[in-house]
Structure 1
Amino acid sequence: MKLNAGIITEKLQETKKFYMEVLDFGLSFENEFYLLLHTPDHSAEISFLQPNHPSQKSIFQSVFNGKGVYLTIEVEKVDDVYKELKDKGVQMEIEIRYEPWGDRHFAIVDPNGIGIDIVTYTKPKE
């Protein structure tokens, strides 16, 4: 079983640019109303769909309202990714930090208002 999360958005081109230029995602498929992107290692995909497209049924029509969704991207060296994104001028929503439960992470926001938590999991400090 493979999961592909999808977001309905009017911002297809801004979204494509953000995920490809900021997060180094690749393009799996694109047409005039649909965008499918993959992580750099091809282990996961995310899709974006234009709202109110006549080819889609009503459950795939309403635009995402910008609240209540987040993504987590697990990386091996979160400090390196943090520095890379800072060097690109990406605005940080949460600066890099350790959490008591063991995560070292930071967060950014995509053009649709989706929080993206970038994390390296570590053991909690004793």
Structure 2
Amino acid sequence: MKAFILTVGWTNAQTKNKMKLNAGIITEKLQETKKFYTEVLDFGVSFENEFYLLLHTPNNSAEISFLQPNHPSQKPIFQSAFNGNGAYLTIEVENVDVIYKQLKEKRIQMEIEIRDEPWGDRHFAIKDPNGIGIDIVTYTKPE
């Protein structure tokens, strides 16, 4: 019997399979989404066509994708549009105060103003065009 352990990826005695998570959202708002992530959060475009958009963080450490709903190239599991509820993203940054100031200067609406939490987060939150909450945080040690 082989034991599998989840660390950076699944590992067993014969092979090492590294995993990389790419979250995806199905939305009709591909252009609004592209504009928001590239202009507000400084993401870059990794790939784009008429029904799919793959974006990467400014340091290329993570990606997120967006897919047009009901596209004939996709199976039914990837056809229904996101309804705007029940999802969030967390973006960890070195200095949340700098990002907060930059977004305030861009007049981005804050869903949660910057604050310190007793468990150690210093963060604020915004929403993307799809209604996804984005928590921008610098982790600190609790007091």
TM-score (norm 2): 0.87
Q: CA RMSD in A?
A: 0.2
Q: Deviations over 1:68-94 (max 9, x none)?
A: 000000000000000000000100000
- Which one of 28, 32, 38 corresponds to residue 20 of structure 1? 38
Partner residue of 1:49? 67
Q: Deviations over 1:10-64 (max 9, x none)?
A: 0000000000000000000000000000000000000000000000000000000
SS in 1 for 2:108: coil
d(CA) in 2 for partners of 1:81, 1:109: 15
TM-score (norm 1): 0.99
d(CA) in 1 for partners of 2:133, 2:20: 22
Q: Which has the higher contact order (CA 8 A, sep 6+)?
A: 1
How many residues align? The count is 125
Unaligned runs of 5+ in 1: none
d(CA) in 2 for partners of 1:51, 1:6: 12
d(CA) in 2 for partners of 1:14, 1:115: 15
Partner residue of 1:104? 122
Unaligned runs of 5+ in 2: 1-18
Give runs of ≥4 in structure 1 deviating > 6 Å.
none
Answering whether residue 28 of structure 2 is matched by residue 10 of structure 1, we say: yes
Partner residue of 2:133? 115
Answering whether residue 114 of structure 2 is matched by residue 88 of structure 1, we say: no
Deviation of residue 3 (structure 1)?
Answer: 0.5
